[in-house]
Structures are given as structure tokens and as C-alpha cells.
């Protein structure tokens, strides 16, 4: 018999950036665990492909909204619509992210700084704030509980040369999740951060084809391979499920052991 808390039947999960990469890996696992899944992504074609791929995996409903999380009005509108359609939000994973570095910190431009901030910091803020509103209202009506998740990065806790703008957003996200864990625990709402290591996605496409990178970096990963989006399915299901109802304020590193090398 399957451990019952991992069955997400009846739960509603919003995943930003859920149409590709780590987000899609999470979406597929959530759908396979029978959750109703709401995918947010900017590109309609990618959204449609993700819905088609995930819809047949479980008994829940999978839908997508075209949302740019860097636009506050779009986030507010989409979260309201999702709540109205599914009658509740049980889990929100702020996963949408971008990454842009510079040749050096001293040559980094304000444009680069703000490019990272818009999605990684402000987008996560808008998303999690609106999800928290929904969860708190439900708790005050007598139905407590919920899970807020932020996809951060090892860059948020380790040195990331030439990527200070990106690292700043991810370190800030971890701090924001910790603050949410303290503020919303009284409503049964937990908040946690997921920290990916080197994962084969569009964001790391350039490094994936670099022999020097493979030799100097990936060989340092104890599991000896790039991470894959599917490697994030288990943690998504766990954090969305009742199995994690007493787990809050944590940073969960998924990196094949790289940070311990």
C-alpha cells in the first residue's frame, strides 16, 4: 500500500516556471501523485506541451496560465483565478527563475542586477505573497495548512563569482522563506527552500557542452552526473504532501552531494 500522505488527491498546487526544466519535473511528479496542478509560464506553446505531458499521469486536473511573474498585476489576477477555479491553493512553488552574470563583479551593470531581481526576487515575492493570502484566509475560515516553496540555488549559500546579482536573489529568497515559516506557522502553513546544484536545464545549456566544465566541475559531484529535472519530483511531492506538515523553515539541498565535496 502506498504511504497515504503522499497521495495528493484533492490538493491544488501552483508551480511557476512549470512548463520546462526543474519546474516541469516537479509538475510531472505532482500530477502523477494525483494533485490538481496549475502551471504558470510565459510561453503559451510550452504551457500547452507541459499540460499535455502531465495530464495523463494522475487523476487530478492540470491547467496552465500565461503569467509573467515579474508583473505584479498578472500574478494577482492569476492567483485569484486559480483559487476561484479550484476553490483552494494548498501548495505554491515559486520556481520561475533567470540567471545572468557578468565578466566580473566590478563590470556588472545595473541592467544585469535588475534583470535577475525582477523575476527571481520580485516575482517570487508577488507569487508567494498572493499564495499566502489565500492560505491564511482559508485557515481563518477553519481549514488550516499549506506549503510555500521557493526554488533557490546553491549560489544563495556558497560563493558564486561573477554571479553576485543572481546569488543575491537566491540568498534573499532563502531568507524570505525562513521569515514566512516563522510568520505563518500559526496557520499550519510551512515554508521551505529547495536549493538545486548543477542541473541540466536551459539555464545551464552553455556549460553542458563545455568539456572543461565537465572535467573540473561535474567530476566533483559525488554522484558523478548532472542533475535532471526529474530529480526534483520527489521533493515537490513531499513538500506538497501531508508528510511534510511539521517540516518548515528548512533549506533542502538537491545537488548530488556537490556541496559536501
| Residue 205 near residue 211, CB atoms below 8 Å | no
Residue 175: predicted pLDDT: 98
- pLDDT tens string 227-249: 999 999 999 999 999 999 999 99
Residue 56: predicted pLDDT: 97
Grid coordinates 528548512 are at which residue?
Answer: 250
- The answer to pTM > 0.95 is yes
Among residues 20, 134, 170, 248, the one annotated as catalytic is 170
Phi, psi (5° rounding) for residue 80?
-65, -45
Among residues 153, 193, 241, 244, the one annotated as catalytic is 153
Does the active-site annotation cover 147? no
Neighbouring residues of 20: CB distance < 8 A, sequence distance ≥ 6? 41, 46, 50, 201, 202
- Spans of the chain, pLDDT less than 70: 1-2
Residue 105: predicted pLDDT: 98
Residue 4: predicted pLDDT: 87
Among residues 166, 184, 187, 258, the one annotated as catalytic is 166
Q: Per-residue b/e over 84-97, b at no fewer than 16 CB within 10 Å?
A: eebebbbbbbbbbb
| Residue 126 near residue 116, CB atoms below 8 Å | no
- In the CATH scheme, what is the homologous superfamily, with its name and number, of domain 4-201+229-255? NAD(P)-binding Rossmann-like Domain (3.40.50.720)
Residue ranges covered by each domain of the chain: 4-201+229-255
| Residue 220 near residue 257, CB atoms below 8 Å | no
- pLDDT tens string 66-115: 999 999 999 999 999 999 999 999 999 999 999 999 999 999 999 999 99
Does the active-site annotation cover 260? no
Residue 18: predicted pLDDT: 98
Does the active-site annotation cover 104? no
d(CA 29, CA 237) in angstroms, rounded, equals: 7
d(CA 207, CA 130) in angstroms, rounded, equals: 35
Amino acid at each position: 500500500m502506498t504511504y497515504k500522505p503522499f497521495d495528493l488527491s484533492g490538493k491544488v498546487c501552483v508551480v511557476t516556471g512549470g512548463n520546462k526544466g526543474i519546474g516541469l519535473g516537479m509538475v510531472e511528479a505532482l500530477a502523477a501523485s494525483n494533485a490538481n496542478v496549475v502551471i504558470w509560464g510565459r510561453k503559451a506553446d510550452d504551457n500547452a506541451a507541459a499540460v499535455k505531458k502531465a495530464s495523463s499521469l494522475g487523476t487530478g486536473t492540470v491547467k496552465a496560465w500565461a503569467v509573467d511573474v515579474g508583473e505584479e498585476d498578472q500574478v494577482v489576477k492569476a492567483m485569484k483565478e486559480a483559487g476561484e477555479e479550484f476553490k483552494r491553493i494548498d501548495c505554491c512553488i515559486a520556481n520561475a527563475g533567470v540567471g545572468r552574470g557578468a565578466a566580473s563583479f566590478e563590470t556588472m551593470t545595473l541592467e544585469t542586477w535588475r534583470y535577475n531581481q525582477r523575476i527571481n526576487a520580485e516575482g517570487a515575492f508577488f507569487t508567494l505573497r498572493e499564495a499566502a493570502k489565500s492560505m491564511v484566509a482559508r485557515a481563518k475560515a477553519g481549514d488550516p495548512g499549506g506549503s510555500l516553496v521557493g526554488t533557490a540555488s546553491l549560489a544563495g549559500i556558497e560563493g558564486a563569482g561573477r554571479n553576485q546579482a543572481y546569488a543575491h536573489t537566491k540568498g534573499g529568497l532563502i531568507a524570505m522563506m525562513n521569515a514566512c515559516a516563522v510568520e505563518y506557522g500559526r496557520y499550519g502553513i510551512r515554508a521551505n527552500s529547495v536549493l538545486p546544484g548543477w542541473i541540466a536545464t536551459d539555464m545551464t545549456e552553455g556549460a553542458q557542452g563545455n568539456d572543461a566544465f565537465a572535467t573540473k566541475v561535474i567530476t566533483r559531484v559525488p554522484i558523478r552526473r548532472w542533475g535532471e529535472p526529474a530529480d526534483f519530483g520527489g521533493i515537490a511531492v513531499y513538500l506538497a504532501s501531508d508528510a511534510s506538515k511539521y517540516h518548515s523553515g528548512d533549506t533542502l539541498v538537491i545537488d548530488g552531494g556537490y556541496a559536501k565535496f
